[in-house]
Amino acid sequence: MTTLTFFNAWHYDGKSAVRRKVEVQTIGAQFFLLETERRHGPFAFADVEYVAHKGDADVYGLTGQDGWRLMLSGPVPAELTAMLPARRRYGGWVDRLGLGKATIAFTLASAAAVAVVLFSPQWLAPLIPSSVDKKLGDALVGDFGGRFCSTPAGDAALKKLVVSLDTSPRDLQVEVAKIDMINAVALPGGKVILFDGLVKQARSPDEVAGVLAHEIGHVREKHVMQALLRQMGLAVVLGGVDGNSGALVNNMLAMSYSRESEAEADAHSMKALGNAAISPVATASFFERLSELDGSARGGDESQGITGYMSSHPLSRERKKAFEKSIVKGKNYKPALTSAEWTELKTMCTQDRKAKSGFGFDFE
Amino acid sequence: MSEDLGQRHSAFRFHGTWQEFAGIAFPNLLLSIVTLGIYRFWATTREREYLWGKTDFIDERLEWTGRGMELFIGFIMVFFLIGLPIIVIQLISQGLIFRGETIIAAVVTLIMFLLLFYLTGVAYFRALRYRLSRTYWRGIRGGSNDPGFQYGLSYMWKSFAGWTPIFLMVPWSMISLWNERWNAMSFGPHRFEAAAEWKPLMKRYLLFYLVPFLVFVGAIIFGIAVAASGGQPDALGSSGMAIGGILLIVAILAMYIILPLAALAFYSKYFRLAVGGLRLHNLEFEFRARAADWILFFLANMAIIICTLGIGYIFMPYRNWKFFIDHMEAYGEINVDELTQSETIVSKHGEGLLDAFDVGAI
């Protein structure tokens, strides 16, 4: 069967830039393009692909023929249109579903992806073997550039604190680092580092015990690994978002989670203090002092994957109240360390002359 | 071919409207948000299809045949080949810093920086190549067979050479790189010939280069003049402070206003010279925007973005393209019989590198 149709059809053969006015001659699943003195083809309808809508014309290409174009405008007969591929608007999936449905589907898929990334670390983190955790911690910390302080009496005092606060202290590695910052960090592999600045400013061993128990809480609740996994997941999921907004969303999500884990670590700390019969009063007063610092614009700069103490975000004032509430009236609290032990711990970094001090560079 | 030659102002004409573009840009924005940004590759493609398709060159519209999937694949390639290694290297160097191995960390970081710098050069080249290979006019496209690895090296050494003499040779490096890039490109059977000169660019560059000094000197002169006419400083202690404060503000404003203006003036000259030095067989090109056009364009863009609280940002591709096409001009003639199909290879992935480094192609 042969049909000749009359509407505007232009053709480029892709070999030269000559524009040809043609007529489309359809023969079954094939067609020819007829010029006044030439016939192009046959071409198979199956090879025709949609290229673009240009001006008032639909532009078609041919698979495997670079630059081959057929441009149709005007009253294209329905029989011919039926043989040609449909217009493309948004791209494959969206065109098939329609904009509305596609939007809903994408929203759901995105929400699911984010949910997986946010919630899976909670049950994925415990599945990571402790050997991996340990290796990661060792790789990250090493000997901390020789900044760990050590004296026999100071080590003993620190050990006493750890033993009183944790039931299996053997898989913890608690160190005091010669860095003059009021901070403490929990790192992968059960590593907890108290900065000397924090120990020095503390007014009692109970205060250090509260902070230490908090960091041990991060270790026991697997917060560090969770945060690492979450950051990695978010980096992948939000990788497609433009730099700035992606980082913003990422930080907001990470922040809200760090707040949650800070609260969990606080709860752990209060429980551990209670079990060790150490009064939470000192820790509460520590937060009192911190809350004064809060007012003086503490930045929330948190290095990724390291749960910092100062950068933790439940407001210090609220945390102070929580610790005050956990005081049990009439309970027989005893000091976390004897005054001799406390002095040893406090002066450990001063005594240890071998330990290097500071970072030797600007720490972010 | 019923073009009215008398009415035609330029070989390039743009027929798009921002209303039509809005019909593309807003759904794009919506889909990009709900896909956490992944749709943006298809969004870019749709925008280009529209912009190219609304652009006349002589008597036929341009055609953008790039696909969102190509850009997406390019992005994934960059993510795995460059993004992940960088994250790993950063972790390693952080660990090194933690352990006090500051020097090794610095060396690792420096190597990473150099590698990224090299890849940025390659990215510029490949993005231009990709865009030419996806741009069709009368069924004919452009491209290049050069993968751009050599260009990456040129980009490194020419940039360094431009910076070394206290940044005075930057115009030379910019023009020289432009020429090198375009000389490797072709359209149909014809090779581009780029022979832009850099010396005429120096005057504008020095203007831009000297602005900070001029502002500084101006502030001092103004200060002396005020002090000379202001009488006793001890009697006018507080007002003297106020004048000092005002001077400081004026100087800062001058830096923030005059410096970008001088930069635009330089860039307008650069682009005019660069495009003006370009030939394709019997065609010559010209870019007619002067410094004032660029400044107006820039201010209008700022106004649009600010007045729409940032949403106007989605119209920037439209504004940029319209500005580009409105000021492009070509002279000479094309023999369509001679303009045969390009033999250059077509890579299957898009501007991943360039996208990752967030730079423009031209």
Mean pLDDT calculated for residue range A287-315: 50
Strand partners, B329: B286
Phi then psi for A62, rounded to 5 degrees? Answer: -130, 130
Amino acid at residue number A223: H
pLDDT of A61 > 80? The answer is yes
Q: Does B340 touch chain A (CB under 8 A)?
A: yes
CB B131 within 8 A of CB B359: no
Report yes or no for ipTM above 0.90: no
pLDDT of B8 > 90? The answer is no
Give the whole-angstrom CA distance, residue A240 versus residue A219. 32
Position A180 confidence tier, pLDDT thresholds 50, 70, 90: confident
pLDDT of B185 > 80? The answer is yes
Report the residue from A19, A52, A241 with minimal CB separation from B37: A241
| Structure tokens given for A172 | 């913890």
Site from A8, A10, A13, A16 to mutate, B interface, most B CB atoms within 10 angstroms: A16
Report the residue from A91, A239, A361 with minimal CB separation from B97: A361
Distance from CA of residue B334 to its chain's centroid?
A: 28
Q: Does B87 touch chain A (CB under 8 A)?
A: yes
pLDDT of B315 > 60? The answer is yes
pLDDT of A9 > 80? The answer is yes
Task: Give the best-scoring range by mean pLDDT among A102-111, B178-187, B340-349.
Answer: B178-187
Q: Which residue has the higher pLDDT, B217 or A307?
A: B217
Cβ-Cβ contacts under 8 Å, B16 against chain A: none
The reported pLDDT for the residue numbered A82 is 85
Q: Which DSSP letter does residue B199 get? A: G
The reported pLDDT for the residue numbered A300 is 41
Task: Give the best-scoring range by mean pLDDT among A358-362, B167-171, B314-318.
Answer: B314-318
Distance from CA of residue B348 to its chain's centroid?
A: 24
Site from A10, A70, A90, A302 to mutate, B interface, most B CB atoms within 10 angstroms: A90
Interior/surface letters A141-180, b for 16+ CB within 10 angstroms, e for the rest:
beebbebbbebeebbebbebbbebbbeebeebbbbbbbbe
The reported pLDDT for the residue numbered A297 is 34
Q: Does B63 touch chain A (CB under 8 A)?
A: yes
Mean pLDDT calculated for residue range B104-128: 87
Cβ-Cβ contacts under 8 Å, B1 against chain A: 19
Site from B41, B49, B99, B336 to mutate, A interface, most A CB atoms within 10 angstroms: B99
DSSP codes joined into one string, A284-345: HHHHHHHHHHHHTT------TT-EESTT--S-HHHHHHHHHHTPPTT-----SS-HHHHHHH
Give the whole-angstrom CA distance, residue A30 versus residue B355. 41
Report the residue from A68, A239, A242 with minimal CB separation from B79: A239
CB B13 within 8 A of CB B329: no
The reported pLDDT for the residue numbered B360 is 45
Q: Out of A1-10, A162-171, B6-15, B322-331, pick the least confident.
A: A1-10
pLDDT, tens digit (0-9, with 9 covering 90-100), for A28-58: 888 988 888 888 878 988 889 888 887 778 8
Position A91 confidence tier, pLDDT thresholds 50, 70, 90: low
Chain B residue with CA closest to A13: the answer is B139
A115: part of which helix (H) or strand (E)? helix A99-124
Q: Which residue has the higher pLDDT, A259 or B154?
A: B154
Shortest alpha-carbon distance between residue A87 and chain B (Å) = 13
Closest CA to B327 of B282, B359, B296: B296
Given 3-state DSSP classes, what are the helix, strand and coil percentages for chain B, each rounded to the nearest 5?
Answer: 65, 10, 25
Contact B336 A144 (CB under 8 A): no
Shortest alpha-carbon distance between residue B62 and chain A (Å) = 9
Contact B341 A16 (CB under 8 A): yes
Q: Does B38 touch chain A (CB under 8 A)?
A: yes
Report the residue from B53, B79, B340 with minimal CB separation from A16: B340
pLDDT of B95 > 80? The answer is no
What long-range pairs does A299-303 form, CB within 8 A, spacing at least 24?
A300/A255, A301/A364, A302/A254, A302/A255, A302/A258, A303/A364
Task: Give the best-scoring range by mean pLDDT among A168-172, A322-326, B18-22, B68-72.
Answer: B18-22
CB B30 within 8 A of CB A105: no
The reported pLDDT for the residue numbered B353 is 58
Residue B177, classified by CB atoms within 10 Å of its CB into exposed (0-12), middle (13-18) or buried (19+), is: buried
The reported pLDDT for the residue numbered B74 is 82
Contact B64 A52 (CB under 8 A): yes
Residue A266, classified by CB atoms within 10 Å of its CB into exposed (0-12), middle (13-18) or buried (19+), is: buried
Mean pLDDT calculated for residue range B71-100: 78
Report the residue from A55, A67, A246 with minimal CB separation from B61: A55
pLDDT of A249 > 70? The answer is no
Shortest alpha-carbon distance between residue A26 and chain B (Å) = 23
pLDDT, tens digit (0-9, with 9 covering 90-100), for A312-323: 445 677 778 888
Q: Does B282 touch chain A (CB under 8 A)?
A: no
- Interface size A-B, in CB pairs within 8 Å, comes to 135
The reported pLDDT for the residue numbered B348 is 66
DSSP codes joined into one string, A142-190: TTGGGTB---HHHHHHHHHHHHHH-S-GGG-EEEEE---SS-EEEETTT
Rounded to the nearest integer, the mean pLDDT of chain A is 79
pLDDT, tens digit (0-9, with 9 covering 90-100), for A341-362: 999 888 888 888 877 776 544 3
Report the residue from B79, B139, B334 with minimal CB separation from A14: B139
R_g of chain A computed on alpha carbons: 35
Give the whole-angstrom CA distance, residue A198 versus residue B41. 49
Position B293 confidence tier, pLDDT thresholds 50, 70, 90: very high
Give the whole-angstrom CA distance, residue A194 versus residue A286. 15
| Structure tokens given for B137 | 């006019």
Closest CA to B10 of B54, B55, B58, B49: B58
pLDDT of A309 > 60? The answer is no
pLDDT of A294 > 80? The answer is no
Q: Does B341 touch chain A (CB under 8 A)?
A: yes
Q: Does B337 touch chain A (CB under 8 A)?
A: yes
The reported pLDDT for the residue numbered A312 is 47
Cβ-Cβ contacts under 8 Å, A144 against chain B: 98-100
